[in-house]
């Protein structure tokens, strides 16, 4: 797989950091399809894809709450933008509540993109950054900015009560916002981020709780619930099946 797949990612400029986590590419150079499992990671993803058997297309993927088996087709190139949740309201200007564990196809000329834009990764990042800036047409609510700063900096380890108190926003209002905007509760989202934060530890063979799990049993239950596998299976990652664990060593 190391010889067949190529992966690269870059962080956005500081001005976009509240809305964009990263730009990245994935290429399957081989003539064979690759079966992989994509794990929940708390992101909204925009994919521009082209393969030997499928024409150029643009796909928007909502928040994942369960492992998703998928196929990286032979001779495929994917350029992508991984968004933080504030992007839903301030860049896409829409609710993502109907896209939990789902994807939707967008027009092939979305944001003026075309197949020509997935030949030069640096140029893609520049163009994508410009398009995102153009869609940022209102100031971010200070409570929401504070809330997400806390959620991301703590990697999901803070309780909803703690987050509400520090953001000066009631738990009830926060959960209404999360369910209406993203289709899940804040507690569920924090669980996903805490799960994701354990990836590097698990890959290194540290099969014990590190992100404020109650105990070892709780840790194992949460990992199994969100990945469909035990921590040991993830750490072994046979056949590079779990794509994010394979990518960790490439960053």
Angle between helices 160-167 and 186-197 (to 10 degrees): 110
**Same domain, residue pair 20 and 123:** yes
Reported as a single tens digit per residue, the pLDDT across 137-188 is: 889 999 999 999 999 999 999 999 999 999 999 999 999 999 999 999 999 9
118, 135, 152 — which closes off a domain? Answer: 135
Instruction: Assess contact for 227 and 101: CB atoms under 8 A.
Output: no
**Same domain, residue pair 161 and 42:** no
User: Which contacts (CB < 8 Å, 24+ apart) does range 111-117 have?
Assistant: 113/48, 113/58, 114/56, 115/50, 115/56, 117/48, 117/79
**Same domain, residue pair 19 and 108:** yes
- Would you say residue 8 has pLDDT above 90? yes
Reported as a single tens digit per residue, the pLDDT across 54-103 is: 999 999 999 999 999 999 999 999 999 999 999 999 999 999 999 999 99
Q: What are the DSSP calls for 172-193, one per residue? A: HHHHHHHHHHHSS-HHHHHHHH
Instruction: Assess contact for 90 and 56: CB atoms under 8 A.
Output: no
**Same domain, residue pair 131 and 150:** no
Reported as a single tens digit per residue, the pLDDT across 201-215 is: 888 888 776 666 767
**Same domain, residue pair 96 and 155:** no
How many structural domains compose the chain? Answer: 2
Paired tokens of 194 = 């805490």
78, 109, 135 — which closes off a domain? Answer: 135
* pLDDT at position 121: 97
135, 156, 190 — which closes off a domain? Answer: 135
**Same domain, residue pair 73 and 154:** no
Q: How far is CA 5 from CA 34, 220, 240, in A?
A: 9, 30, 11
**Same domain, residue pair 149 and 177:** yes
CA dihedral 57, 87, 100, 70 (to 10 degrees): 40
**Same domain, residue pair 64 and 114:** yes
CATH of the domain at 239: 1.10.10.60
**Same domain, residue pair 87 and 126:** yes
CATH of the domain at 48: 2.60.120
Q: Which residue has the higher pLDDT, 145 or 2?
A: 145
Distance CA 176, CA 178 (A): 6
Angle between helices 186-197 and 142-153 (to 10 degrees): 40
Q: Tokens 């890959």 identify what position?
A: 203
Residue 2's pLDDT band, with cuts at 50, 70 and 90, is: low
Q: How far is CA 52 from CA 30, 72, 112, 121, in A?
A: 11, 11, 22, 19
**Same domain, residue pair 16 and 109:** yes
Distance CA 59, CA 46 (A): 6
Backbone angles phi, psi at 227, to 5 degrees: -115, -20
Distance CA 96, CA 81 (A): 16
Domain housing 225:
142-248
**Same domain, residue pair 131 and 181:** no
Q: The pTM is what?
A: 0.92
C-alpha angle with apex 191: 189 to 195, nearest 5 degrees?
A: 120
**Same domain, residue pair 172 and 113:** no
* pLDDT at position 1: 45
């Amino acid at each position: 797989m190391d010889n067949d797949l190529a992966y690269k990612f870059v962080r956005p400029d500081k001005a976009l950091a509240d809305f964009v986590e990263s730009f990245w590419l994935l290429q399957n150079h081989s003539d064979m399809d690759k079966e992989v499992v994509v794990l929940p990671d708390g992101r909204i993803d925009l994919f521009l894809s082209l393969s030997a058997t499928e024409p150029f297309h643009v796909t928007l993927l909502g928040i994942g709450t369960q492992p998703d088996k998928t196929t990286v087709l032979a001779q495929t190139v994917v350029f992508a933008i991984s968004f933080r949740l504030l992007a839903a309201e301030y860049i896409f200007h829409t609710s993502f509540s109907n896209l939990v564990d789902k994807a939707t196809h967008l027009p092939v000329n979305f944001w003026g993109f075309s197949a020509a834009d997935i030949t030069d990764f640096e140029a893609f990042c520049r163009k994508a950054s410009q398009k995102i800036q153009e869609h940022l047409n209102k100031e971010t609510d200070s409570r929401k900015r504070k809330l997400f700063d806390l959620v991301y900096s703590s990697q999901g380890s803070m309780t909803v009560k703690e987050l509400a108190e520090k953001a000066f926003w009631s738990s009830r209002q926060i959960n209404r916002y999360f369910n209406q905007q993203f289709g899940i509760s804040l507690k569920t989202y924090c669980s996903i981020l805490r799960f994701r934060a354990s990836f590097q530890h698990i890959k290194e063979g540290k099969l014990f709780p590190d992100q404020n799990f109650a105990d070892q049993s709780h840790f194992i239950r949460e990992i199994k619930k969100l990945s469909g596998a035990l921590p040991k299976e993830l750490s072994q990652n046979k056949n590079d099946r779990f794509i994010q664990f394979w990518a960790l060593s490439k960053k």
